[in-house]
C-alpha cells in the first residue's frame, strides 16, 4: 500500500544550524511534491513545490531535494531561527488515481535560541 513516512520524533537543533527533515514514500510515483508548514492551532501553509524532473528547489533559506530513485525528499532550513519552530508536512501528488495530495504526518522542528 502507499505510504508516506516522516520522522515522528521532534527534531531539536540550535539556532543558526541547518535543519534537515526527511520524507520517504513507498508505492508512489508522484508528479510533484509539496512541503507545508503548520503552526499550533493553525492550518498548513504552503512553502515549496518540487516536480519529478527537478533535483533541487530553493527559496530564501529553504531548500528541497527530490530523489525519485530513493523515493525521498529532503527539506533543509539553513541558518535556522526560533521562528522556524513548527511542524513541517510533506505532500506528494499523484497524477493518477485520486489525483490529490496525500499528506505525511509531519515532523516537529524545535529551534533553540
Partner 1 sequence: DAGVIQSPRHEVTEMGQEVTLRCKPISGHNSLFWYRQTMMRGLELLIYFNNNVPIDDSGMPEDRFSAKMPNASFSTLKIQPSEPRDSAVYFCASKGIAGPYNEQFFGPGTRLTVL
Residues in contact with partner 1 by CB under 8 A are 32, 34, 41-46, 49, 89, 93, 98-106
Closest distance of CB 12 from partner 1, Å: 20
Q: What is the closest distance, in whole angstroms, from the C-beta atom of residue 45 to partner 1 in the complex?
A: 7
Q: What angle do CA 108, 25, 107 make, to 5 degrees?
A: 0
Taking the C-alpha atoms of residue 27 and residue 32, their distance in angstroms, rounded to an integer, is: 14
Q: Which residue's CB is nearer to partner 1, number 81 or number 105?
A: 105
Q: Nearest distance from residue 42's CB to partner 1, in Å? A: 6
Local structure of residue 89 (DSSP, 8 states): E
Residue given cell 515522528 in the structure block = 8
Instruction: Find the Cα–Cα–Cα–Cα dihedral 86, 90, 8, 88, rounded to 10°.
Output: 0
Q: Please state the closest distance from residue 35 (CB atom) to partner 1, in A.
A: 10
Identify whether the C-beta of residue 18 lies closer than 8 Å to the C-beta of residue 77. yes
Amino acid at each position: 500500500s502507499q505510504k508516506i513516512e516522516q520522522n515522528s520524533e521532534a527534531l531539536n537543533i540550535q539556532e543558526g544550524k541547518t535543519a534537515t527533515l526527511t520524507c520517504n514514500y513507498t508505492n508512489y510515483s508522484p508528479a510533484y511534491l509539496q512541503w507545508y508548514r503548520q503552526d499550533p492551532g493553525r492550518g498548513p501553509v504552503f512553502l515549496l513545490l518540487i516536480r519529478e524532473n527537478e533535483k533541487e528547489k530553493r527559496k530564501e533559506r529553504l531548500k528541497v531535494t527530490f530523489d525519485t530513485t530513493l523515493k525521498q525528499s529532503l527539506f533543509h532550513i539553513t541558518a535556522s531561527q526560533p521562528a522556524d519552530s513548527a511542524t513541517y508536512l510533506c505532500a506528494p501528488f499523484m497524477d493518477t488515481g485520486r489525483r490529490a495530495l496525500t499528506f505525511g504526518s509531519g515532523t516537529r522542528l524545535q529551534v533553540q535560541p
